Structure 1
């Protein structure tokens, strides 16, 4: 009888913990979704608040900068506040900042609230992934990781649909107001369900202020440099200065972290070979995931002329494929070496990305369907096994710091990937357009077919076109050149994603999740 009673109590505790963990996942989903729903409606916000077009990008940039600074602090904040109070505090701040964004009446006010929103949201993501390995026994971790992973990659997929629908049906204010009720409920549930621990005030007294300052400067200047590099040039005076400051600050932060008894961020985790490999995979996943989610809306909006809602409906294919694959990923992770599953996932992901590198100006939903299916099927295998590789063998007290670094690598991979994509789009469109003109003026029918020009205009033609023909062909050539630049960007992302497979032989064997 006592054994049965103890078993019932254990089951109840596990149920309560699962409820608390699900509340954490909801908070994380909201933080990731917020970036996407706002991105789709920036023109509406610009018009409503009368914001200078050159300032609009800062609404997203300040959020991402604050987020990337907060992510590596998750370990320290967990030790100080405990996992329970860190999540509740962060989510409450996120809700307050969301309300502040919704009632903002000008650019400065909106940007200030976005900073708070980004910083508070940045701690939610690594908190969830560290909770997987702190709250659950080994046999439950695969399922917990899957739930977190599905929501983490589903948010960018459904973001355009949600953002477009809210803006068109109601107003831009609802992009932020949708966070309030779910956020309050999730905070209340987490406060009641997550394990209770004592706040460690001594941790705050040992805060490394110099380390915090150097880390923040390094990440902020890196993000600013990546934002401006595609337009101002990677070797411009401005960007070179930002990258130099970032490198010096990062060097100071690393030296200080490695030589302090209680560092702000525990960089010694990188001495663990599997954590190093897992973090590298996380970086590459960020490159491929953020890159593909960025490239599709650019093509659908600027080439095909779709609105935010139509873009979201097209991109929903990836999310559906991902959801269908999630149970299979959980089952396989319980049986197979995570290195093999990671290799399968990244190989498929690279193939799915590479399939999008042959689009033409008329490509649309049908041509994008199977590449999206393959990417959706592969994403869970690119997220779950690398997470186990990186965090699954670490001691529980090392997991919060390690989770922050692991998630930071994914965000940095995404930031660098988008900067390189933009560089290709800015620098390659013009020369590719000139090559198309040369081929058209030489009477090349394949070029005419690619841009969608009537064959009779080009057939048998040599030399420059007259003014009327040039006026007809010019918009077609410009669009086609943009498509070719996008194709080059897709191929670059595919090649870098495929490089993940090369990293896996360096990882040590890890037992499957059920062992």
Structure 2
């Protein structure tokens, strides 16, 4: 077995700061595009003549394509070099963003979003890897803090920017803003890092593994997105997709574990910290992202919020996250990361239970307070879990490990969005049925409401229409409460996975000779 390449020396402080900005800008742009479309879905759907439910494909198509591309990072970086691959991905992302903005139909937009997700695949894992290489090992915790701050700010800025641009300009601008950011990040990254290119070698591509990956991830995501339209397993199409996803996944695992050059290094999951760290990170992110999608849809479709206001009331999640992330980065080397991650999941659960008490007369202040508190959870979530997941790995395995962990996280994010919106709609239908059964002239409350509307000049048909709208709003609000309650329970359940990992003493990445904790 050949010796591992000597690690690159850290960058000088000035260059390190500039590299952090460049890499963070690219990460910011990438993560921004997972949430910027959330509050713009109604605008996009209305402009393209499709339902909001169909419009959610704009979110999930990016997520699935990204999930398929991310695990290729390890192979691609060995073939083309980490710096070259990173800069190329950023430039192609800019081109894909331009195509998204120019799309004139839902099909064109989804195709452009798939392309955008595919070329974005290596960006986040490589930004992580390149940033860790730029910092001295004793400051690796701070490097992760700087990196995670962009992943915290972007989901917060996404709804605000998406809402403002959709309300004041037009939805294509949510994609056009990537152009100057991406070009700037690509130029800065190349200028600062081109002399630090990693060694390359020609490796055969695992074509069968890649094909199986595309098949099972694609089949599962289509099943999740189409399920609510086709009444799930009452549909032959959904059953067929489920079978394809299950068989494809089983074949994928067997093939990857036996192939000499697998597209995804599944042996990483033999490490307890990687296995349980990824489960905690991915499942926690999936629940979080599902809530991120449901909240603005509820506010806009049933609570009368504009896209801008929906973005503003959900934005304060970033305040405490930004303030606390550098603190977490500093204390990480001296603290058990599992304790910090435990705080994250407990605060996530607390916020979910607070939201489970929302009603149709909720004020903006009551929405903002849990968002602010959730900033604590966000600061304590990414940094320690990434540290646990990558602990004990030699630096040359970081791109592959980061790619695999981000692949699982992004996939769970897409699945979380589909499952939470499906649950929300199904629970709303159930609540609507129960509430509508009580609307009759024999119900004193309903009778008084009808009489009050008719006294204002409404005829019986219009009065019933007004009551129907109120019932629908109430049903979807109760359903949102159900989603938030379930989310809180899931966050608490995930605490167990954190404590199945082993102590790492806050080390995000280890040298080759370190023990595999």
Larger helix percent: 1
Partners of 1:98 and 1:176 within 8 A in 2: yes
Count the aligned residue pairs: 492
Q: Does 1:482 align with 2:476?
A: yes
Under a length normalisation based on structure 2, what TM-score does the superposition of the two structures give?
0.87
- In 1, the alpha carbon distance for the partners of 2:256 and 2:186 equals 33
Q: What's the counterpart of residue 196 of structure 1?
A: 196
- In 1, the alpha carbon distance for the partners of 2:57 and 2:347 equals 35
CA change 1:259–1:144 in 2 (3 A) is same
Q: What's the counterpart of residue 333 of structure 1?
A: 332
TM-superposed CA distance for 1:441, in Å, is 7.0
Under a length normalisation based on structure 1, what TM-score does the superposition of the two structures give?
0.87
CA change 1:419–1:442 in 2 (3 A) is farther
Which runs of 5 or more residues in structure 2 are unaligned? 1-7, 453-459, 511-517
Partners of 1:158 and 1:315 within 8 A in 2: no
Which SS does the other structure have where 1:155 is aligned? helix
Partners of 2:321 and 2:376 within 8 A in 1: yes
Q: What's the counterpart of residue 486 of structure 2?
A: 492
TM-superposed CA distance for 1:199, in Å, is 5.8
Of 218, 230, 233, 2:231 maps to: 233
Of 489, 502, 507, 2:501 maps to: 507
The 5-angstrom pairing of residues 19-418 of structure 1 reads 19-46=18-45, 56-194=55-193, 195-197=195-197, 200-203=200-203, 206-235=204-233, 236-418=235-417
Partners of 1:335 and 1:513 within 8 A in 2: no
Which SS does the other structure have where 1:231 is aligned? coil
| Worse-superposed segment, 474-483 or 41-50 | 41-50
TM-superposed CA distance for 1:114, in Å, is 2.3
CA change 1:173–1:467 in 2 (3 A) is closer
- In 2, the alpha carbon distance for the partners of 1:295 and 1:53 equals 12
Partners of 2:22 and 2:188 within 8 A in 1: yes
Partners of 2:159 and 2:315 within 8 A in 1: no
CA change 1:246–1:322 in 2 (3 A) is same
- In 1, the alpha carbon distance for the partners of 2:348 and 2:432 equals 30
- In 1, the alpha carbon distance for the partners of 2:303 and 2:502 equals 46
Partners of 1:24 and 1:87 within 8 A in 2: no
- In 1, the alpha carbon distance for the partners of 2:147 and 2:126 equals 11
Partners of 2:15 and 2:192 within 8 A in 1: yes
Q: What's the counterpart of residue 427 of structure 1?
A: 426
- In 1, the alpha carbon distance for the partners of 2:54 and 2:426 equals 23
- In 2, the alpha carbon distance for the partners of 1:133 and 1:242 equals 40
Partners of 1:221 and 1:243 within 8 A in 2: yes
Q: What's the counterpart of residue 6 of structure 1?
A: none
